[in-house]
Amino acid sequence: MNLKDQFEQLCLPFTKDLSLIDSLWKEIDTKYAEKGRHYHNLLHLKNMFTELENVKSSLSDFTTVSFSVFYHDIIYNATSKSNEENSALKAAERLTELGLHQSDITIISDQILATKLHQESENQDTNYLLDADLSILGKDLETYLAYTRMIRKEYSIYPDLLYKPGRKKVLKHFLELESIFKTDYFKKKYETQARSNIAAEIQLL
């Protein structure tokens, strides 16, 4: 199932207004296709869903997690420090239009905000979301290095003099964590490779 169909199926339990669903999808499609989104695009969402499909039975609410995936990067500007907050606000606005319960919207907003600092959550669904978001870190080295080049392009406004120290700080933060991944499934699958990849990137900076 492609992302558009997946989004439609996700929305149908809440509304039969197909024009509303279509307009919400078009906004997602347009936002994630914005110029400069070399990594934070629809392929990133697709990859997250591929990862989450493997742990679907472990999630208590796949619907809320799915909405969180679709909206977690809907607002993205490499120079902004408020992407997650703005994305959460956009999600709340759109999902209110869609007719979701406020309690679910709050959970989704909290999950989107959690992608800012990637700290372990008391909500295990949130931990799975965060791990799926970072799963690229644990892919094979070639895939990881391709990801680093895409991230560099997104931050092309910054010269190496500024980018490299900032990137190195982020990477070292990951290595200082007791565990990059929050859930046992993703720890076993990606932790070792992620640490190896990050160490390799630091050497290249």
Helices (H), the chain: 3-11, 18-32, 42-53, 62-71, 83-98, 102-117, 124-133, 141-154, 160-176, 184-204
Residue 131 has pLDDT above 90, yes or no: yes
Backbone angles phi, psi at 35, to 5 degrees: -60, 135
The pLDDT value recorded for residue 20 is: 98
* 13 Cβ contact partners less than 8 Å away, ≥ 6 residues apart: 63
The pLDDT value recorded for residue 163 is: 97
Can you state the angle between helices 102-117 and 62-71, rounded to 10 degrees?
50
Both tokens assigned to 177: 């964590």
Both tokens assigned to 175: 């290595």
Tell me the per-residue pLDDT of 63-109, one tens digit each, with 9 for 90 and over: 999 999 999 999 999 999 999 999 999 999 999 999 999 999 999 99
Tell me the per-residue pLDDT of 36-66, one tens digit each, with 9 for 90 and over: 999 999 999 999 999 999 999 999 999 999 9
95 neighbors 109 (Cβ within 8 angstroms): no
Both tokens assigned to 54: 């493997």
Can you state the angle between helices 3-11 and 62-71, rounded to 10 degrees?
130
Distance, CA of 37 to CA of 183 (rounded, Å):
28
The pLDDT value recorded for residue 65 is: 98
The pLDDT value recorded for residue 1 is: 79
Distance, CA of 131 to CA of 185 (rounded, Å):
9
Both tokens assigned to 122: 């008391």
What is the mean pLDDT of the segment spanning 157-176? 96
Of 39, 114, 31, 118, the closest CA to residue 70 belongs to 31
**Tokens 């010269």 label which residue?**
159
Distance, CA of 122 to CA of 168 (rounded, Å):
29
CA-CA distances (angstroms) from residue 174 to 137, 139, 168? 10, 15, 10
